[in-house]
Amino acid sequence: MGMPSNLFNTAFKQQRLGLMFSIILVILVYLGTLAMAAQAVLARTALTWGYDLQSRVTIEIPFVDDEDATQKQDKRERLLQLLRAMPQVDTVEPIDEAKTQGLLSQWIDDASLLQALPLPQLIDVTFKVGATLAPAELQRTLASHNRDLRVYGHADWMDKLLGFLTGLGVIATLMLFLTGFAVVTVISAICRAALAVQHDTIELLHFMGAPDHAIARQFQKHIQRLAFPAALIGFALAALTVAILVFLLSSLGGLSLIAPLSWVTLGSVTALIPLGAIGLSIITARQSLLRLLRRLG
Amino acid sequence: MLVSFEHVSLRYPCGRTVLNDINLALMPGLFYFLTGASGAGKSSLLRLIYQMEKPTEGRVTLFDRDTSQLYRHEYPALRRRLGIVFQDFRLVPHLSALENAALPLRLAGAERLDVEQHVTELLNWVGLGDRLHALPSELSGGEQQRVSIARAIVNKPRLLLADEPTGNVDDEASKKLMHLFLELNKMGTTVIFATHQKDLVQQYAKPVLRLKNGRLVSSMDEAA
Ligand SMILES: Nc1ncnc2c1ncn2[C@@H]1O[C@H](COP(=O)(O)OP(=O)(O)OP(=O)(O)O)[C@@H](O)[C@H]1O
Ligand SMILES: [Mg+2]
């Protein structure tokens, strides 16, 4: 059933309803896309970190004054063997003394002083999936071998950080829902306003035998024409914002904090927002118009 | 029976009774005049037919359907068989004369180009060939009325409800439009022509429905 495509122009122009709708949708898609991007990155980061910190401990062999290099090495080798024999342990990796010194060299210029520093030996241990040992437990187990060993987990402070991340994730999800709710509310309001402006036209269409669904479809097309560019602009702005954030973060060197999430994944996850906004707009426009028309009698 | 009223009364909310115990039965294919003084209820009677108003009492039957039993989704098909010339034209203000007159065909799903050609011919016929793309606000009352007539007859309705369709045009144009309605009637459209122009009614030997004080006082053969 055809109708002139400009049938509802008056409503959208006269009250600037079209412009208002477009601007609001741009903003909502922008916020929604950012929230979605944040949500995706946070979820991924929390997952990676959560796994990492549970399955990884660092063992410290304290520095002993009168030990020479071979003794030191013996001690380490025996511990390594012991660790590798444990069924829960996945990888065992001694951290190079040179690497530890390298880290410190940023603060200490004097090479001879660096050499003389009483540095502990460090060993990174990761556990097999599902076979994690708590740091205290591992320290107790190893105590029979060497009472001075210290086992550090990363869990304590990471737990707090993770809680924070989860909180942020919840907020982002909430924002998504609020955005969707706002889209529905705005469109319902616009439908009501448009219908009020064009009450006469709609009554006329009824008298000429236009069924409700045809009138609603025409209206829906109008919303659709407005929603596509608005959603695109909102999404583009959000992408630009993310790009700027990434640039700033990487120039601060903080990018490695964020778990690697490929651009493709991030892009396709966040693209759900403009698509969803368009879909939601169309469905809402159609449904609220049908409801209003039925009430019109 | 195309249209029948059985003991139909109409009272507008918080108003007086406009139509009182109306009984009528209209045969398909005839041309009826509907007359009465201004305010007698001519437009109200037509509104009962095209379902803008519901009777306060009594029963209105349209195309053999009791309209009180109709579901909402049944109205469109029924109304598409009607052509309505509204007393106040009811043109869509931002559509051109051509687009306005073409609405019923577009609603019926006709191809855009066919529609344009057909409607242009019709508008030519009613003397608006050079005003096709004018907006209603750019047309005189008589011109708007002719657009509204073109719109009402463009899809050859089975029943044409014309409310003072010649009220705003000169005698010459009035005659021409009358001719148009009579031609349409010859092709099978039943016409109800509401007017208070007594001379017009007298010129044609057609059945007359006369309203007075809310009642039908017609003598069907009055004009004969
Ligand atoms: N919507 C309405 N609400 C209340 N009263 C109305 C309404 N429409 C019409 N009336 C009243 O009903 C009566 C009949 O009106 P109607 O329009 O049917 O008369 P008419 O015969 O068409 O008159 P005219 O020749 O001037 O067009 C009038 O007294 C009018 O005031
Ligand atoms: Mg009237």
Cβ distance A208 to B94 less than 8 Å, yes or no, reads no
Cβ distance A209 to B76 less than 8 Å, yes or no, reads yes
Residue A51: the pLDDT is 67
Residue A233: the pLDDT is 97
Is the pTM for the entire model greater than 0.80? no
Residue A191 in tokens: 């439908």
Question: d(Cα B144, Cα B162) in Å, to the nearest integer?
Answer: 14
Residue B222: the pLDDT is 44
Cβ distance A2 to B52 less than 8 Å, yes or no, reads no
Mean of pLDDT values over A82-101? 82
Structural domain total, chain A: 2
C-alpha of residue A223 to centroid of ligand 2, in Å = 38
Residue B172 lies in a domain: no
Q: Give the pLDDT band (50/70/90) at residue A77.
A: confident
Residue B13 Cβ < 6 Å to ligand 1:
no
Residue B126 lies in a domain: yes
Q: What is the mean pLDDT of chain A?
A: 83
Residues A165 and A278 in one domain: yes
| % chain A with pLDDT above 70 | 92
- For residue A158, pLDDT over 90 is answered with no
- For residue A109, pLDDT over 80 is answered with no
Residue B97 lies in a domain: yes
Q: How far is A9 from chain B (nearest CA, A)?
A: 8
The DSSP H or E segment spanning B144 is helix B141-153
Residues A172 and A120 in one domain: no
Chain segment A18-56, per-residue pLDDT in tens: 888 899 999 999 999 999 888 888 777 777 766 666 677
Residue B209 lies in a domain: no
Domain of residue A272, residue span: 9-50+159-296
ipTM (interface predicted TM): 0.91
Residue B30: the pLDDT is 96
Residue A151 lies in a domain: no
Cβ distance B80 to A209 less than 8 Å, yes or no, reads yes
Mean of pLDDT values over A96-113? 74
Q: Which residues contact A137 (CB under 8 A, 6 or more apart)?
A: none
Chain segment A159-176, per-residue pLDDT in tens: 777 788 788 888 888 988
- For residue A228, pLDDT over 90 is answered with yes
Contacts 24+ apart (CB under 8 A), B203-210: B204/B31, B204/B33, B204/B178, B206/B30, B206/B31, B206/B32, B206/B33, B207/B30, B207/B31, B207/B32, B207/B33, B208/B32, B208/B33, B208/B34, B208/B35, B209/B24, B209/B32, B209/B33, B209/B34, B209/B35, B210/B35, B210/B36
Residue A24 lies in a domain: yes
- The residue among A120 and A36 whose pLDDT is bigger is A36
Q: Which residues of B touch A212 (CB under 8 A)?
A: 72
Question: d(Cα A108, Cα B90) in Å, to the nearest integer?
Answer: 89
Q: How far is B68 from chain A (nearest CA, A)?
A: 14
C-alpha of residue B87 to centroid of ligand 2, in Å = 6
Residues A123 and A222 in one domain: no
The helix/strand/coil state of B219 is: coil
Residue B36 lies in a domain: no
Token match 């990471």: residue?
A158
Residue B42 Cβ < 6 Å to ligand 1:
yes
Which of B8, B11, B42, B47 to mutate for ligand 1's pocket (most ligand atoms within 8 Å of CB)?
B42
Chain segment A167-209, per-residue pLDDT in tens: 888 888 898 899 889 989 988 888 888 888 888 899 999 999 9
Segment among A52-66, A233-247, A264-278, B99-113 with least mean pLDDT: A52-66
Residues A100 and A239 in one domain: no
Residue A227 lies in a domain: yes
The DSSP H or E segment spanning B134 is none
Any B CB within 8 A of A6 CB: yes
Residue B105 lies in a domain: yes
Any B CB within 8 A of A107 CB: no
Task: Please give the number of the atom of ligand 1 that sits closest to the Cα of B36.
Answer: 21
Residue A281 lies in a domain: yes
Residues A35 and A181 in one domain: yes
Q: Which residues of A touch B104 (CB under 8 A)?
A: 208-209
Amino acid at A258: I
Cβ distance A209 to B52 less than 8 Å, yes or no, reads no
Residues A240 and A96 in one domain: no
- The residue among A286 and A128 whose pLDDT is bigger is A286
Residues A196 and A101 in one domain: no
Residue B224: the pLDDT is 36
C-alpha of residue B41 to centroid of ligand 1, in Å = 6
Structural domain total, chain B: 1
Domain boundary among A112, A131, A150: A131
**Nearest C-alpha to atom 4 of ligand 1 is from which residue?**
B12
Residue B186 lies in a domain: no
Domain of residue B124, residue span: 91-156
C-alpha of residue A21 to centroid of ligand 2, in Å = 40
Cβ distance A210 to B76 less than 8 Å, yes or no, reads yes
Residue A152 lies in a domain: no
Q: Which ligand is nearest to the CA of B211?
A: 1
Segment among A133-142, A274-283, B34-43 with least mean pLDDT: A133-142
Residue A94 lies in a domain: yes
Closest residue of chain B to A202, computed from CA coordinates: B92
Q: How far is A23 from chain B (nearest CA, A)?
A: 25
**Parts of chain B with a pLDDT under 70:** 218-224
> Residue A76 burial by CB count (10 A; 0-12/13-18/19+): exposed, middle or buried?
middle
- The residue among B37 and A260 whose pLDDT is bigger is B37
Residue A85: the pLDDT is 86
Cβ distance B75 to A206 less than 8 Å, yes or no, reads yes
Residue A43 lies in a domain: yes
- For residue A147, pLDDT over 50 is answered with yes
Residues A241 and A282 in one domain: yes
Residue A214 lies in a domain: yes
Residue B141 lies in a domain: yes
- The residue among A256 and A244 whose pLDDT is bigger is A244
Any B CB within 8 A of A291 CB: no
For the four alpha carbons of B57, B61, B62 and B67, in that order, the dihedral sign comes to positive
Mean of pLDDT values over A213-241? 93
Residues A44 and A63 in one domain: no
Task: Please give the number of the atom of ligand 1 that sits closest to the Cα of B41.
Answer: 18
Mean of pLDDT values over A92-104? 77
C-alpha of residue B168 to centroid of ligand 1, in Å = 19
